[in-house]
Amino acid sequence: MRGIKTMKTIALGITGSIAAYKAADLCSKLSKNKDIEIFVIMTKASLEFIGEQTLLTLSKNPVIKSLWEIPEWKPGHIALADKVDLFAIVPATANIIAKCANGIADDALSTFALSHTAPTFIAPAMNPTMWANQATQNNVEILKERGVKFIGPDTGMVACGDVGTGKLSDVDTIYQTILKELNIS
């Protein structure tokens, strides 16, 4: 049947957290699902933690990493915004949470966050002190009021050795949450 979209499109935003390597696992799980097409948007800082080629290979789609790389007449982040069924930022730093809450669009990921209308999930990953900071908590509340759903963060030891709430939720939990939202088994 023509005109009926069966495959779901996910935009996966990856930010500059040490947990960025776990986004590769999530991308792999999502891309193995025959009902999902995945596109990755990476911040400049995320590229310091994980390579573009990894996400290109796993997603089987070009990685958007700049506002200035336009492969077609419509900027990549806008063309993707027109067709995305779900947007997930995994991992989400305090920086991207603040940008999303305050409408700051100074890179491909934060611009995409303002240009789409699909359901949004944010999986934070940061130092527990940063997560507990009142500015971060205020930004989280603003986003929740706008309908953004949060997955975690979890409590445990983070990369710097501190213990507390700020650890990225388990990749399987994030994956299952996304499948549930899209009504995919």
Q: Is residue 44 part of a domain?
A: yes
Q: Is residue 2 part of a domain?
A: no
CATH code, 73: 3.40.50.1950
Q: What percent of the chain has pLDDT over 70?
A: 91
Q: Is residue 84 part of a domain?
A: yes
Could you tell me the pTM of the whole model? Answer: 0.92
Q: Is residue 3 part of a domain?
A: no
Digit-coded pLDDT (tens) for 98-108: 999 999 999 99
Please confirm, yes or no, whether 160 is among the known catalytic residues.
yes
Total number of domains in the chain: 1
- For residue 160, the enclosing domain spans 8-182
Which residues lie below 8 Å from residue 10, measured CB to CB, with a gap of 6+? 30, 36, 37, 38, 39, 84, 85, 86, 87, 88, 178, 182
Q: Is residue 14 part of a domain?
A: yes
Digit-coded pLDDT (tens) for 112-138: 999 999 999 999 999 999 999 999 999
Count of CB atoms situated within 10 Å of the CB of 120: 21
For 126, phi and psi rounded to 5 degrees? Answer: -165, 170
Which tokens belong to 141? 């509340």
Catalytic residue among 7, 78, 132, 160: 160
Q: Is residue 1 part of a domain?
A: no
